[in-house]
Amino acid sequence: MEILYIMIPLGLVLVAFGLWAFFWATGTGQFDDLDSPGWTVLEDDKAPPPDDASPKDESR
């Protein structure tokens, strides 16, 4: 079981790395919004917006 004297510190290094990655992700705003990015894959970029998309042209 002496291998544990190496394995556990190694495991802790991995945990530390995981935490560092998590801190980085939090700091760069990855967890600020967990809902809307999922929708972006659903949109297709084909149709360019028609000209009347701007409300300025509307005369309703």
Partner 1 sequence: MSAGERACFHCGEPIPRGLVIHARIAGRDEPVCCHGCKAVAEFISGAGLGDYYKYRDASSSRADEPPRPDRWSAYDRPELVERLTRAEPNGARSITVLLEGLRCAACSWLADKALSLQSGVLDVSVNPATARARLVWDPAKVRLGDLLRVLEHVGLRPHPLAGEPSEQLALLERRDALKRLAVAGFGSMQVMMFAVPLYFGEATGMDPTMREYMRLVSMLVSIPVALYSGWPFYRGAWMALRARSISMDVPVSLGILLAFTASVWNALAGHGEVYFDSVTMFVFFLGLGRYIEMIARHRAGSVADALARLAPMTARRVRDGVTEDVQAVELAMGDELVVRAGEVFAADGVVLEGDGRVDESMLTGESNAIAKPPGSRVHQGTHNLASPLRVQVTAVAGNTVLSGIVALLERAQAERPRLAKAADRAAAWFLGRILVGAAIVFAVWWFVDPARAFPATLAVLVVTCPCALSLATPTALAAATAALARRGVLVAHTDAIEALSKATHLLWDKTGTLTKGLVRVEDVRTCGDVTSQQALEWAASLEQLSEHPIARAFTVTGAPTVRASSAEVFAGRGLEGRIDGRRLRIGTRAFAGGLHAAPVPEVDTQAEQDAKSGESWVYLGDESGLLAAFRLTDPLRPEAGRCVARLAALGLPSEIASGDGAGAVARIAERCGIDRHAARLTPQGKLERLKGLQREGAVVVAVGDGINDAPLLRGADVAVAMGRGSALAQTSADLILVRDSLDELPHTVELARRTQRVIRQNLTWAVTYNLAALPLAALGFIPPWLAAIGMSLSSVVVVLNAMRLSRGAPARRRPGMTASPRAEAA
Whether the Cβ atoms of residue 58 and residue 52 lie closer than 8 Å to each other = yes
What would the two tokens of residue 28 be? Answer: 């760069």
- Dump the DSSP string for 7-60: HHHHHHHHHHHHHHHHHHHHHTTTTS-SSTHHHHTT----SPPPGGGSGGG---
Q: Could you tell me how many residues of this chain bind partner 1 (CB under 8 A)? A: 35
Minimum Å distance from CB 53 to partner 1? Answer: 4
Minimum Å distance from CB 21 to partner 1? Answer: 10
Residues in region 1-60 near partner 1 by CB under 8 A: 1, 4-5, 8, 11-12, 15, 18-19, 22-23, 26-27, 31-36, 38-40, 42-43, 47-50, 52-56, 58, 60
Minimum Å distance from CB 17 to partner 1? Answer: 11
